[in-house]
Amino acid sequence: MQQIQPNELAAWLGDAGRRPPVLLDVREPWEVQTCHLPGIVHIPMGQIPQRFNELDPDAEIVCICHHGARSLQVAMFLARQGFSELFNLSGGVDAWARQVDPTMAVY
């Protein structure tokens, strides 16, 4: 599992020559309604143990939450389940909003 900075993720998403990652948002539904990156897969953290099999274990997955702590726990859980291409968005959507997309709502 690797940490990825918001600007690094933005560059990755903007690179037409690279396959985009799965953006796994593990926040609660009300948080996702407040703000989210486009194209996310939304599975709240509490549902990950029952639903992780919905994810491709060979895909590059960026785990996302508000500040990066919950997503880090999910990434570590997925690693124990055999997922190998895992990234944690450092600072979460809060850092994304402050560093990449200032039009995104913060909370």
pLDDT tens-digit map of 17-40 = 999 999 999 999 999 999 999 999
Q: Residue 10: phi, psi to the nearest 5?
A: -60, -40
| Selection from 29, 76, 67 nearest residue 49 by Cα | 76
Which stretches of the chain drop beneath a pLDDT of 50? none
List the 41-42 sheet strands across, edge first: 2-4, 86-89, 61-64, 22-25, 41-42
Catalytic residue among 4, 23, 35, 65: 65
pLDDT of residue 102: 95
pLDDT of residue 70: 98
DSSP states along 77-98: HHHHTT--SEEEETTHHHHHHH
Active site residue 65: yes
pTM of whole model > 0.85? yes
Contact (Cβ atoms closer than 8 angstroms) between residue 59 and residue 98: no
Report the alpha-carbon distance of residue 95 to residue 99 in Å, rounded.
Answer: 6
Sign of CA dihedral 62, 68, 71, 72: positive
Domains and CATH numbers, the chain: 2-99 (3.40.250.10)
